[in-house]
Structure 1
């Protein structure tokens, strides 16, 4: 990953420059991946009963 791409991802996530001291590159990548999953329509969402059985 290049520096410009990393900074672009930070902007897309909504991170401030001062927050970058607290985060690793891996954390930013994970946050970006999770942001991409926000629009996914899951066919089934677990209920509390399902979690209890798990």
Structure 2
């Protein structure tokens, strides 16, 4: 990953320069991957009862 691509991802996530002092590159990549999952329509969402059985 290049520096411009990393900074673009930070802007897309909404991170500020001061927040980058607290995060690693891996954390930013994970946040970016999770951001792209936000619009996914999950077919089934776990209930509390399902979690208790788990």
TM-score by length of 1: 0.99
Shift of 1:21: 0.5
Query: Aligned equivalents of 2:52 and 2:19: distance in 1?
Result: 37
CA distance in 2, matches of 1:9, 1:21: 15
Q: Deviation digits for residues 1-54 of structure 1, max 9, x if unmatched? A: 000000000000000001100000000000000000000000000000000000
Unaligned runs of 5+ in 2: none
> Across the two proteins, how many residue pairs are aligned to each other?
54
Structure 1 unmatched runs, 5+: none
Regions of 4+ moved over 2 Å:
none
State how far apart, in whole Å, the 1-side matches of 2:20 and 2:35 are: 17
Query: RMSD over aligned Cα, in angstroms?
Result: 0.2
After TM superposition, the score normalised by the length of structure 2 is: 0.99
Provide the rounded CA distance (Å) in 1 between the counterparts of 2:29 and 2:4: 14
